[in-house]
Structure 1
Amino acid sequence: MVTIYGIKNCDTVRKSLKWFDAKGVENKLHDFRVDGIDVKTIAGWLDEVGGKVLINKRGPSYRNLSDTDKATLEQGGPAAAEILVANPTVIKRPVVDFGNTRTVAYDEARWAELAGV
């Protein structure tokens, strides 16, 4: 089963869910706002894909962060993960967890490869 992390009212997350359903790939949505997210999970993502990939600097949520928080996100580490837990809408969506691998953002070609469809 594939876990799609994001926010249910995000257009890209909805588009992702439809893509996986259309391909017959079993999936579930993990909504940051409803289900929450923990520091350990986000720290793992930061280690795996890096902040440049995981953090959405173009959205209003990032722009509304303090300069101190933005600097902490640049440095990475556990403190950056804590900021992302408190502000999950700063995470680029969707994060798709295939079990052994995660992808960030909408990427049909990579998903097809990882899901074998």
Structure 2
Amino acid sequence: MLKLYGLSNCDRCRRAHRRLEAGDQKVEMIDLRRLADRGELEETLQHLLSRVDWSTLLNRRSTTWRGLSDGERDNLDHARATALFKTYPSLIQRPVLDTGAQILVGKAVDDWAA
């Protein structure tokens, strides 16, 4: 089963979920904010960051990113980015698709088929 990580109110995530299901794929949609609220985001982040570089997961175009202070945005490394992801799950580029064999980040569903 595919796992699609994102936000339930994100249009791109909902569109990706619908497209994957329309293609007869079994997809589990996982809301990153809900994981954070339940204290389960850290395990998911460890899994994703073991297979994808933190800079790939970081959404530098988000309103959350633009709202951070210069101090929070400067001198990012793996540890600081991980801490930001835990505090602000909306900083994670989305959607994130875990196929089991690979992690696809922030791409259009049409690109995933390739």
Instruction: Give the TM bin, normalised by the shorter chain.
Output: 0.7 to 0.9
The reply to whether residue 105 of structure 1 matches residue 99 of structure 2 is: no
Over the aligned positions, Cα root-mean-square deviation in angstroms equals 1.9
The CA distance in 2 between the partners of 1:46 and 1:4, in whole Å, is 15
Match of 2:18 in 1: 18
1:18 Cα shift? 0.9
Determine which structure has the larger helix proportion and give its number.
Answer: 1
The alignment-based identity, stated in percent, is: 28
The CA distance in 1 between the partners of 2:73 and 2:46, in whole Å, is 16
Query: Deviations along 1:4-44, whole A, 9 cap, x unmatched?
Result: 11111101001100111111000011111223352343244
Match of 1:59 in 2: 62
Residue identity in the other structure for 2:82: A
Count of aligned pairs: 111
Contact 1:12 / 1:106 at 8 angstroms: preserved in 2?
no
1:110 Cα shift? 4.8
The CA distance in 2 between the partners of 1:47 and 1:34, in whole Å, is 21
TM-score (norm 1): 0.81
Match of 1:9 in 2: 9
Which of the numbers 65, 74, 77 marks the counterpart of 1:75?
A: 77
Query: Deviations along 1:62-82, whole A, 9 cap, x unmatched?
Result: 01112222125x222x33212
Contact 1:39 / 1:82 at 8 angstroms: preserved in 2?
no
The answer for unaligned runs of 5 or more in structure 1 is none
The CA distance in 2 between the partners of 1:46 and 1:100, in whole Å, is 14
Relative to structure 1, the CA distance from residue 80 to residue 43 in structure 2 (aligned partners, 3 Å threshold; closer, same or farther) is farther
Contact 2:35 / 2:41 at 8 angstroms: preserved in 1?
no
